Each structure stands twice: as C-alpha cells, then as structure tokens.
Structure 1
C-alpha cells in the first residue's frame, strides 16, 4: 500500500495524472520549495548511490536497482511537486514519454559517437581487449538511475525553480555551474573537466528542457550520452575512473585538449563543440515557442499563483 492508502499502481498513476488539480492548500514561495526539494533529492541521490554500490558489477542487479532508483526518483518528485506546488506535474506527462526518451537517447548516443569520431580523426583513439556484453548491461543499469536522478535534481528542481527567480538565462547559468561542480567529486576530476561539463552538458540539457518543458528529453539525452561514453566505448566518464568495463575497451592518447586527459572525452574541445550545436538548436526553438522567460514575467506569474 502507498502512504495514502491506495494500491501502489493506482497511487503512481495519480501522481502523474494531468487531470485538472483541485488546490487544497496555499503554494509555498519559490525559494522555500527550492530548498525543500533540493534537500529531498540529495537524500534520493544518496539512496540511488547506495543501490549502485550494492549492485556492483552484477549486470542483473545493476539493471534492477537502476530501474528501481529511477522509479523511486520519479515517484518522489511527482508526489512532492503535487503537494508543494498544487499542480499536475506537466514536465513528467507520460503521454509521449517513451518516444521522447528514445529520441533523446539516440541523439545523445549520436553526439558522443561524433565526439569520439573527431578524436579518432585526430589520431587519439584506439581499442584494446575483447567485448564485454555484461559490462555494457551493468553500465546501462547504472546510467538509467543516474540520468533520471540527476535530471530531476538539476533540470526539474534547480533549473525550473531558479528560472522563476532569475529567468531562463539565470537558470541556465546556475544549473550548469552546479552540474559541473558535482563532477569535481569524481576520482579523475579536473577543474577544466567540470567547466566543460557545465558548458556542454549543463547548457545543452537545460536548453532541451527550456525548449520542450518536459524532463523526458533531457533524461534521454543524458542516458544516451553516458551509456555511449562508458557502456559502449568504455572510456572514462566525467572523471569517474572506477566504472565497470563497457562493451569495448577504448584507449585515448594525445593532448588533453583533444582527448580530455584523465577526465575523459567530455573534457575534449570536440565534446564542447559537438554539444554546442544542439544547445543552440534547442535555445532557438525555445525562443521561437516563447519559452525563454524573463525574471519579471515569471515572478508576476508566481505572485498570481500563490495569491
């Protein structure tokens, strides 16, 4: 049974329902909601990290725990937003979720493949060892949980609520910087790598959310990119040098500006250039659809909401 006494499946359906919402309480100010949701999702992030640790290199456990972490994160976010903001969680509308996730994952995989191809053309790419199918599935499970939890935290919470306080450009800057800073805790982290992540991933994923106002596309992009990095090509992802072996075992050599050095290809100038293209496309789409918001406009809308 769920905390509300309804069967779990019925309770989940209600959290993601887009039916008109009957408000039962006053909506808290944006700053308070931001703080509460960030703290809540730091706890969820810790839970997901613990589940990954227990799963280890076991592909079955990794897939199982990865999907479980994703479902828990989605359910917690949906329930928290409905309670704190008294509205349907439109950014997780399940209508069209699967094709949007699939499209995002394919684009993310393609973007990293293009990045690695440019590194290879520069003479910095090679392979070593055999193929590890089990390793690929292990990484896939890990990245399902990572993509969902991080996109909810950085785009669903930080970007969305900072946008209400500082507008779209302010939200892009804040969420991007914080997203890059998160990767400084990884074993092979560098300041340059964190800055590169802030620009290439933080900006692209924030722009994807701004253009579509759905979390499914950023989640798909994040998953496809991360799985391609470590699960398919077996190179270091975001300075995390303790990842299981992927499908292939790739070896990079040459200047750090080209290969990314110890941080991995995400610190390569090619990654920044490749990800800049969809970021610009998404921002242009957001502008065309009237989804780039100023601080004053969003603050006035919030005032009307809570009045």
Structure 2
C-alpha cells in the first residue's frame, strides 16, 4: 500500500510538471524555471509521503551534503556519456558541424533536471527501495531494471534493443549507484549528467526525444548498433558496455561497504552500521 501511495504522490507532481514544461514549448526561461520547479516539488512530495507512510525522516534525500553527492553523480554521468560519444566518433558515427545554441542548452538544464529527479524518485526511491526490502538488492535490481527499460519503449525511435540497452546501462546502473551510496542524490546526478551531456552539450538525441540544439551541433550516423540511430547514443553497444562496466563497479563497491540487502529471511550483513556509509 505504501508503494502505491508513494508512487501516486510523486507521479502526480511529475505529470503536472511535465504538462507545464511541455506547454512552455522550449521557451528558455520558462522551461528552465518550470523544470527546476518540477524537480523541487517532486522531492518535497517524496519527502512528505515517506514521512506519512513510513514514519521516518527521508534521509535518502536529506539536504545536508546533497551538493557534493549530486556533483559527484553529475561528473560520473557526464564522463560516461563523453566516453561513449568518443567511442562512437572513433568508429565514424559522430561528428560536430559547429556550435549549437546556448539558449537550447539552458532550457535543457530545466528539462533534464525534471526528468532525472522524477524518474529517480519513482524508480529508485520508491520501486527499487521498497522491493529491495523483501527481495534483496539482487532481486530488486533484476525486477526494476527491465521495468525502467520498458518505460522507455513508447519513446520515438525506440526498439526492443534500445529498451534492453536502457534497462542495463540506466536501470541496472542507477540501482547499483543507489545500493552503493544509499542516497538518491548520486543517482540523480548520474542521470542528469548523462542526459544533459547528450542533449545539452554534444547535441545528440536523448532517448529518441526531440529537443532543442545543445552547445554543439552534433550528428550521429552509421549502423544503429554502433551509433544508437534515431534513439541516440543510449541505443549503442558502446553505451551498453559502459553501463555493464559501471554497474559492476558500483555493485562491488556496495558489497565492500556492506550495503547489499539480503532477501528477506536470509542473514543480514555482519555490520549493520556499514549501511550508513555515504
């Protein structure tokens, strides 16, 4: 019941925010303000409903220390996307025609902030976290990662391959990031860093969605399995490989920190205090 209540509270704000951002029609100041407002209101809704349904402080979105955690996540996401674009460029699938639009990049800050925050709250903050309590970290990851991929299947230019790629490189990776850090700021940062690097900096399609030009006028071409095709670099084999590698890194970090949650009924970690590691 609490899962449904939490999903409903965050989804209501996310839906209203998406309508408002869409109505802005990429007007730069409006899209920026409405996108950031959607992100903030979604966080407040999540914190409120967690307090009401779980009778606890929502420490996973605590404001204290949020900046550095968010910043680390953004760097990881940006670096991951830059590495993927570099691999695509080396194989002849990405080139830059020139400068794009600074205004478009600013608008995308708001748009991507809303998308990153709302999706992380819904999929990692609610679904993964609550399912993990019963099925453990591995069970929750195997259940929620495919759901995240399927959620992107209705996007323009999406295919079963792109949905599978998103399930691994984002669904599994972001769950692993949460499992290792036990806060939502780092996965939000990774999510935003990846999305903004794609649309706002390198000028590529992001999850098949139409968006204004970013800082660079970038173009992808060639076989879709290498470049991602119309879905964007997320649909490339390079993104899939990067996601697998980073997922393994964060799961290993979670195991080392003792933050992996066992399936209900199994023995808990030897040092429960380790789950408080930042």
TM-score (norm 1): 0.84
The CA deviation at 1:122 is: 0.5
Q: Does 1:123 align with 2:92?
A: yes
Give the number of equivalent residue pairs.
268
In structure 2, C-alpha distance between the alignment counterparts of 1:52 and 1:173, rounded to whole Å: 32
Q: Does 1:279 align with 2:247?
A: yes
Cα distance 1:298–1:45, how it changes in 2: closer, same or farther (>3 A)?
farther
Aligned equivalent of 2:26: 57
In structure 1, C-alpha distance between the alignment counterparts of 2:126 and 2:152, rounded to whole Å: 18
Q: In the alignment, is the contact (CA less than 8 A) between 2:5 and 2:49 conserved in 1? A: no
Aligned equivalent of 2:260: 292
Alignment match of 1:154 (pick from 123, 134, 138): 123
Structure 2 residue matching 1:63: 3-state secondary structure = helix
The CA deviation at 1:297 is: 4.8
Computed over aligned residues only, the root mean square deviation of the Cα atoms, in angstroms, reads 1.5
Aligned equivalent of 2:108: 139
Q: In the alignment, is the contact (CA less than 8 A) between 1:189 and 1:263 conserved in 2? A: yes
Superposition pairs for residues 86-105 of structure 1, below 5 Å? 86-105=55-74
Alignment match of 1:239 (pick from 208, 225, 239): 208
**Which segment drifts farther, 78-87 or 93-102?**
93-102
The CA deviation at 1:72 is: 0.4
Structure 1 residue matching 2:99: 3-state secondary structure = coil
TM-score (norm 2): 0.93
In structure 1, C-alpha distance between the alignment counterparts of 2:78 and 2:152, rounded to whole Å: 20
Superposition pairs for residues 1-307 of structure 1, below 5 Å? 32-240=1-209, 242-297=210-265
Structure 1, unaligned stretches of length 5 or more?
1-31, 301-307
Cα distance 1:152–1:63, how it changes in 2: closer, same or farther (>3 A)?
same
The CA deviation at 1:249 is: 1.8
Q: In the alignment, is the contact (CA less than 8 A) between 2:104 and 2:212 conserved in 1? A: yes
In structure 1, C-alpha distance between the alignment counterparts of 2:48 and 2:188, rounded to whole Å: 19
The CA deviation at 1:129 is: 4.9
The CA deviation at 1:131 is: 2.2
Structure 2, unaligned stretches of length 5 or more?
269-278
Structure 1 residue matching 2:219: 3-state secondary structure = strand
The CA deviation at 1:299 is: 11
In structure 1, C-alpha distance between the alignment counterparts of 2:153 and 2:195, rounded to whole Å: 17
Report the structure number with the largest CA radius of gyration. 1
After superposition, the C-alpha distances for 1:181-215 in whole angstroms (9 at most, x for unaligned) are: 11112122111111100001111100000001100
